[in-house]
Amino acid sequence: MYNDIIIDNFSDPRNVGDLESADHELEIGNPVCGDRIKVQLSVTDNLINKAVFRAWGCATSVATANIFCRSIEGQTATEIAQRQPQEIEAMLGELEPSQHHCLHILSELHEKLTAQLNVGAA
Amino acid sequence: MDQQHLSGYFDYNATTPISNEVAESMIPAITQFANPSSSNRYSMLSKKAITETRNNVAQLLNTDANKVFFTSGGSEANNWAIKGVLFKHTAKPGHIITTEIEHASVLDTVNYCVSHFGFEVTYLKPNEHGVINIADVKQALRDDTQLITIMYANNETGVLQPIPAISALAKEHNIPLHVDAVQFVGKRRVDVESLNVDYLSLSAHKFYGPKGIGCLYIKDAKSIIPLIHGGGQELSMRSGTENLVAVIGMSKAAQEASLHVEQWDQDNWACKQHMMTLLKSAPIQIKFNGTTAYQDALSNTLNISIKGIRGEALAARMEIIHSYIISIGSACSNNKTKNISHVLKAMSMDEDDIQSSIRVSFGRFTSLEDVEKFVTTLVAEVQRLLAISEG
């Protein structure tokens, strides 16, 4: 039902939290399933130092928020913008059909980050 | 699975664990190969088992054995009752009364009859407590109403429908009544003769029997079209060589339920009361969906909305981290369609409450200690999810 990547990131999501003074905030919501995710970033010279999130949603969407935050920490916005769609899709592992909306969530998080940090995709 | 390791199982309405006694009764039947319909000396034993099972199920329902017809389970029994009655009227299709909260095997079958044969249907809506108002049934009656099909106990909320009153009304207007009692049988005592219903469905795996076997009670076999032709089994109403292993399993399950149903109900009621007390005093915001009074709902079922969380996420944490099995009112949706409980929706619940709902159902292998541990874990996991969403 849930793959190992989702289980790991949902059971013990290590990037949950708030930043006292975030440099950027990304917020997304899915009008159909109602999932809501807020990501806060600490950024220095295009480098993501810290990424934390709050999420209300299904297990897979909470895991998705954690996977996203973990994957961008220590990366520059330029590097993140260069990620290919297949690479982003692979980050969540194999999903059940009902969990596919989380691929959209993950893509949207990438798009919002790229737009906010003002870097174009490769 | 060993019954001693079922303390984390809280999804008895989905299916019950097979009892040891039932399993033991089925093992010798695996090699009992003789066709019950043959007349050789080997077949006599098989035939005897069939007869005993019919008697045991009849006793469970307080009826005569010749009114008990084996099916592959509840869905088949529901399909048969609805199609079997309505197909007699395809030349002049009339009107059906059902509810918005039926099982899919009723709703989809009714819908099939409507779309393929031109029947008309009234879907009754329950009140906010999950109960169908008898006055609404009365108001829905038409001169051409050909069937009323209403469930006894709802699988998601456990709420009971006023079947005795509906039955009296149906009799007064001479309209056949089918009752889907799949969730009711084995949880409360059923007396089909005093209920005076025409058709009643049950399924063995809901009362500690095997899957793939159930029954349709038929008061008058002439009132319904046979389901499967050719072979002569089940008084030529449902032909086909019987699944003897499953039939024998149902026999033991029916026997056990006849003997113990009141005790099981009392035990369940003690668990339910304990769980409600613990949940009410827990530091989380909960709402019980549907009436919870003993006389109005099954003793083994609680449907709860928990403010601030998603039921799906809670169920996932309960299972992944603690091996608890519960059920949810709203599954994951894709980007285009919502997948929320039609039952809770029909009860006019708002979407947040539906998405935060879980169903907890327990049974004869659940103890008060299991309930306490379950609630402690549930509360901790709700608080963890709230911490993830709110901080």
- Residue-wise pLDDT for B335-359, tens only, equals 566 688 999 999 999 999 999 999 9
Q: Is the pLDDT of residue B2 over 70?
A: no
Amino acid identity of residue B10, one-letter, is F
CA distance B329 to B65: 38
Asked if B310 and A30 come within 8 Å (Cβ–Cβ), the reply is no
Q: Which of B185, B240, B208 is nearest to B69 (CA)?
A: B240
CA distance B204 to B182: 8
Q: Is A119 on the interface with B (CB under 8 A)?
A: no
When CB atoms are compared, the residue of B309, B312, B335 closest to A32 is B335
pLDDT tens-digit map of B270-321:
999 999 999 999 999 999 999 999 999 999 999 999 999 999 999 999 999 9
Q: Is the pLDDT of residue B4 over 70?
A: no
Give burial (CB, 10 Å; 0-12/13-18/19+) of A120: exposed
Mean pLDDT over B34-56 rounds to: 92
pLDDT tens-digit map of B221-243:
999 999 999 989 998 999 999 99
What rounded mean pLDDT belongs to chain B?
95
Q: Is the pLDDT of residue A122 over 70?
A: no
When CB atoms are compared, the residue of B334, B351, B389 closest to A56 is B389
Please state, in angstroms and as integers, the Cα–Cα distance from residue A89 to each residue in A67, A102, A105, B114, B201, following that order. Answer: 12, 10, 11, 43, 46
Asked if A62 and B388 come within 8 Å (Cβ–Cβ), the reply is yes
pLDDT of residue B158: 98
Counting one residue from A and one from B, how many pairs have CB atoms under 8 Å apart? 72
pLDDT tens-digit map of A33-58:
788 999 999 999 999 999 999 999 99
Q: Is A97 on the interface with B (CB under 8 A)?
A: yes
Asked if A58 and B332 come within 8 Å (Cβ–Cβ), the reply is yes
CA distance A67 to B385: 17
Query: From B351, which residue of chain A is nearest by alpha-carbon distance?
Result: A34
Query: From A56, which residue of chain B is nearest by alpha-carbon distance?
Result: B389
pLDDT of residue B337: 64
Q: Is B92 on the interface with A (CB under 8 A)?
A: no
Mean pLDDT over B25-54 rounds to: 92
pLDDT of residue B335: 59
**Which residue do the tokens 């058709």 mark?**
B199
**Which positions ≥6 away from B294 have C-beta within 8 Å?**
B269
Mean pLDDT over B56-62 rounds to: 98
Q: Is B307 on the interface with A (CB under 8 A)?
A: no
Q: Report which listed range, A94-98, B34-38, B289-293, is most confident.
A: B289-293
Query: From A38, which residue of chain B is nearest by alpha-carbon distance?
Result: B389
CA distance B123 to B140: 9
Q: Is the pLDDT of residue B140 over 70?
A: yes
Q: Is A90 on the interface with B (CB under 8 A)?
A: no
- For residue A10, the chain B residues in CB contact (below 8 A) are 313, 316-317, 320
> Model pTM greater than 0.90?
yes
Q: Is B331 on the interface with A (CB under 8 A)?
A: yes
Catalytic status, residue B271: no
- For residue B322, the chain A residues in CB contact (below 8 A) are none
Structural contact between residues B237 and B219, judged by C-beta atoms closer than 8 angstroms: no
Q: In chain A, which residue ranges form alpha helices assigned H by DSSP? A: 4-11, 59-72, 77-81, 85-90, 101-116
Q: Which of B2, B7, B118 is nearest to B362 (CA)?
A: B7
Asked if A17 and B351 come within 8 Å (Cβ–Cβ), the reply is no
User: pLDDT band at residue B1, thresholds of 50, 70 and 90?
Assistant: low
pLDDT tens-digit map of B243-264:
999 999 999 999 999 999 999 9
Q: Which of B60, B17, B20 is nearest to B257 (CA)?
A: B60
B385 to chain A, closest Cα gap in Å: 8
Per cent of chain A over pLDDT 70 is: 98
Q: Is A13 on the interface with B (CB under 8 A)?
A: yes
A93 to chain B, closest Cα gap in Å: 17
B122: β partners: B97
pLDDT of residue A118: 80
- For residue A18, the chain B residues in CB contact (below 8 A) are 391
Residues in chain B: 391
Structural contact between residues B276 and B302, judged by C-beta atoms closer than 8 angstroms: yes
- For residue A2, the chain B residues in CB contact (below 8 A) are 316, 320
B345 to chain A, closest Cα gap in Å: 15
B329 to chain A, closest Cα gap in Å: 13
DSSP E strand boundaries for B152-219: 177-180, 199-203, 214-218
Query: From A37, which residue of chain B is nearest by alpha-carbon distance?
Result: B389
- For residue B389, the chain A residues in CB contact (below 8 A) are 36, 54-56
pLDDT tens-digit map of B172-200:
999 999 999 999 999 999 999 999 999 99
Q: Is the pLDDT of residue A94 over 70?
A: yes
Q: Is the pLDDT of residue A119 over 50?
A: yes
Q: What is the ipTM of this complex?
A: 0.93
Asked if A16 and B335 come within 8 Å (Cβ–Cβ), the reply is no
When CB atoms are compared, the residue of A13, A17, A98 closest to B332 is A98
- For residue A52, the chain B residues in CB contact (below 8 A) are none
Q: Is the pLDDT of residue A120 over 70?
A: no
Asked if A10 and B320 come within 8 Å (Cβ–Cβ), the reply is yes
Which residues numbered 176-215 in B keep a CB inside 8 Å of some CB on A?
none
Q: Is the pLDDT of residue B99 over 70?
A: yes
Query: From B307, which residue of chain A is nearest by alpha-carbon distance?
Result: A56
